[in-house]
Structure 1
Amino acid sequence: MVVRAKVRHQTRVDHPEVEGTVAPGFEPVRDAFVGNFTERGELGGAVCAVVDGEVAVDLWGGVRDATSGDRWTADTMTLVHSTTKGLSAMVLALLHSRGLLAYDQRVAAYWPEFAAAGKQDVTVRQLLAHQAGLFGFDEPVDRELVADLDRLAGVMERQRPIWPPGERQAYHAITLGFYENELVRRIDPAHRTIGRILHEDIAVPLGVGEEVFIGTPASVPNERLAVLVPPGRWARLTSMPISLTVDALRPHSVLHRSLVANPGTGFYVDRDRVIVREIEVPSGGAVASARAIATAYGAFAAPGGPLDLRQETIDALAAPATPARQGWYDACFRGPAKFSLGFMKPSETFAFGADTAFGAPGAGGSMGFADPALRLGYGYVTDRMGMDLRGDPRDVALRQALHAALANA
């Protein structure tokens, strides 16, 4: 059964750059979205908010392709980088809700071969919190290997952790999704991948089956995809802390191994077809609309609903994160960050929602999160990539306006 989020009584948006609707009381979000184009350099993008199962904000605007000038439309999708991590974490949460996964169980209990090379004690919770010391691969990993899940599993089984599980934290920028995918294949009764379960068991039942993919089908036309415009060289040089810029150039640094070295962060991009088709990169390769992200998070903001989620699972996602033994310091970011069960949690360095919220920002500015305290699901996507690690100003403006509207509701 397909269940779309209900649409509140809406008013159309009257602005040359922006289309869509907002519910009465949510006009500040519309104004902030318009301000993204007039004040904050937006090229093309979309924002959506689902509150208590109803669509309160659904806006899009600008252009999806700077070269052709083609307009962003209601069903435009774009690559969302690490916002993908939240979508993958939803799949694991769904398996938890079905009683197939325990977060405090050892990974090797589901995937026996994972225990090799000193990984026998890594728990699912530690892996999903970036505390397993598995942020890099010692063996070469390219596009061909990523497409062969059995060979990729062998690489992961042979990989030795950099430190004992739970000792320290370092962002597993790309590798996390590959470990998650193999874990899901071992747990799911039909041995499906994260991309298949996301599509079949989450997106389709929620009515957004054609608006989010991990492993984009060949059938998706280029005209459905917004082309990312990367930051200019000056922005890259001046927006990043100098310590991270230096780390990006140091082959043995944690950041270089996690983000720059193999498996790399760009091998899923295809110059001719926007993004490589059919290959799943569950840490950074999803394409999605803002509506799909918000709808999915809206379903995970409360128990029951179309996905029949258990309260126990929602409570686990909303609970405080558990730090590594050496604390919240992240060796990749060189600063504090909080992660739990595959999601990012609010912190002093990246604030969003209440303490119970959970989500995932993506490189360039995209963002998705759920806030069970408000029964809120939120999604923002853009094709002009920003560089702010503490929250893109366009996304921050939208979230501030949304929370003001909710406070006055």
Structure 2
Amino acid sequence: MATVEGQSDPAFKALKDFFQEKLNDDSELGASITVNINGKDVVDIWGGYADEEKTKKWQADTIVNVWSSTKTVTAAAFLLAHQRNIINLDDPVAKYWPEFAQNGKEKILIRHVLSHTSGVSGWEGGITLEELCDAPTAAAKLEAQAPWWEPGTASGYHATNQGAPLSEVFRRASGGQTLKDFIANEIAKPLNANFQYGAIESDWPRIAPVIPPPPPAADFKIDPDSVAGKTFINPSMNALVANTDIWRQGEIGAVNGHTTALGLNRILRAITLAGTPHDEAKLFTPETISQIFREQSDGVDLCIGMPIRFGIGFSIGGGGSAKSFDYLPQEKMCFWNGWGGSFGVCDLHRGVTFTYVMNKMGGGLIGNERSIEYCRIIWRLLREQEGKDGQL
């Protein structure tokens, strides 16, 4: 039987026990969870198996494709680029990439792409896996198309294509440096964070292949001509592509990040703790982090179909989305997740950063039944402790 390994503060016993329960009943195959409070890892646990056949145990350094949790690191990179005056979040995309200013896209701002409000949430024509995995090619295929709605007026989740225009903007603004290299050298390396777009071949033995989610319900239908249909069906994603060589070799800044829960946490805690006495990284200034909380939209997302409040690069707490995410804190908070369940939450009010990665994907677009319950347990425990003495 797989047992939970790592270390956990006794105050979080209920979280560790629930994780063990999910391993025991096979709801969870393999996963890792990290909770950091004010710079201290109060939970850093992992367990289960890295393969479906249960022949290889999940280790502390097991990495896995985290799908759209990748977007949180891409957002962090753009925040840092903004802070260093490489780009400005309020600039038009076309300032750096003139060819993008076709068919009504000249007013699309960088922050619109980061907040899923650009009107360009997918590709108009077909795109192959080979094209998707090559960032310049994927970006070039967006140049001629028109927005699918008025930019800046609503969100429509940029599920797969968000990384392509951002990679192209960064490459041009930086004089040729790739976003992949910038993240590796300026974020992952200084933070000692086990994160990369794709994975270098020497790391492939550490990868836990993803297990696809259950198929959608038989009565599930999506209009292929709707914004949601055009976004999610092109390309029609089979989760098993994440286990291919071409995926691991590509730069897909929306969906092909590989990491551990601890690696992702080390990046996101730099956001949570920026400017506080607990901020050892000192990567971001408080002014930079304030950009995240500039509301860009608050309403029913045109692709996901539920109320989501977007700041720049993250969903943010409060607004019309509060009921959608009642398992999350509603004070100053930002988060995002990945297809199948991976999750990252920055609770700036409490100085808490939670991250979770796994190989067995669940259903739904926002979290899975396990990650949602992990969140419920964590913030219940935090609130209970606040009610006692305010200390963990």
Structure 1 length normalisation: TM-score?
0.85
Tell me, in whole angstroms, the C-alpha distance in 2 between the residues paired with 1:270 and 1:48.
Answer: 23
Query: Alpha carbons of 1:168 and 1:16: their partners in 2 closer, same or farther (altered >3 Å)?
Result: closer
Q: Is the 8 Å Cα contact of residues 126 and 166 (structure 1) preserved in structure 2?
A: yes
The alignment partner of 1:370 has SS state of strand
1:83 Cα deviation after fit: 1.0
SS at match of 1:181: helix
From 375, 378, 387, the equivalent of 1:402 is 378
Decide which of 109, 121, 124 is 2:107's aligned counterpart. 121
Match of 2:252 in 1: 281
Closer, same or farther: CA 150–390 of 1 in aligned 2, 3 Å? closer
* The one of 292, 300, 303 aligned to 1:332: 303
2:295 to 318, 321, 337: 321
* 8 Å Cα contact 1:100/1:187 also seen in 2: yes
Structure 1 window deviating more from structure 2 (61-70 vs 31-40): it is 31-40
The CA deviation string for residues 241-294 of structure 1, in whole angstroms up to 9 with x for no partner, is x5xx211xx3212222111223x4348826565x72320111111111111111
C-alpha contact (below 8 Å) 1:251/1:261 kept by paired residues = no
Name 2:202's counterpart in structure 1. 219
1:201 aligns with 2:186: yes
| C-alpha contact (below 8 Å) 2:133/2:252 kept by paired residues | no
Runs of 4 or more above 6 Å deviation? none
Shift of 1:155: 1.9
Asked if residue 64 in structure 1 is aligned to residue 39 in structure 2, the reply is no
Shift of 1:144: 3.1
Greater mean deviation of Cα atoms: 33-42 or 306-315: 33-42
Q: Report SS of the residue matched to 1:338.
A: strand
Distance 1:141 1:62, change over 3 A: same
Task: Could you tell me which runs of 5 or more consecutive residues in structure 1 were left unpaired when the two chains were aligned.
Answer: 1-14
Residue from 341, 349, 358 that aligns with 1:373: 349
1:372 maps to amino acid = L
- In 2, are the aligned partners of 1:184 and 1:193 still within 8 Å (CA)? yes
Q: Give the structure 2 partner of residue 252 of structure 1.
A: 225
Are the aligned partners of 1:49 and 1:55 in contact in 2 as well (CA < 8 Å)?
A: yes
Q: Provide closer, same or farther for how the CA distance between residues 48 and 356 of structure 1 changes in structure 2, counting only shifts above 3 A.
A: same
Identity over aligned residues, as a percent? 28
**In structure 2, do the counterparts of structure 1 residues 296 and 271 end up closer, same or farther at CA, with 3 Å as the change threshold?**
closer
Normalization by structure 2: what TM-score? Answer: 0.88
Q: Greater shift after overlay, 374-383 or 264-273?
A: 264-273
Structure 1 residues 80 and 150: CA distance shift in structure 2, 3 A: closer
Pair 1:312–1:40, CA change in 2 (3 A) = farther
> Structure 2 matches for 1:8-407, cutoff 5 A?
16-38=2-24, 41-188=27-174, 190-208=175-193, 211-221=194-204, 223-233=205-215, 236-237=216-217, 245-247=220-222, 250-262=223-235, 264-266=236-238, 269=241, 273=245, 276-304=247-275, 305-317=280-292, 319=293, 321-323=295-297, 328-346=299-317, 347=321, 348-351=323-326, 352-407=328-383
How big is the alpha-carbon RMSD for the aligned residues of Structure 1 and Structure 2?
Answer: 2.3
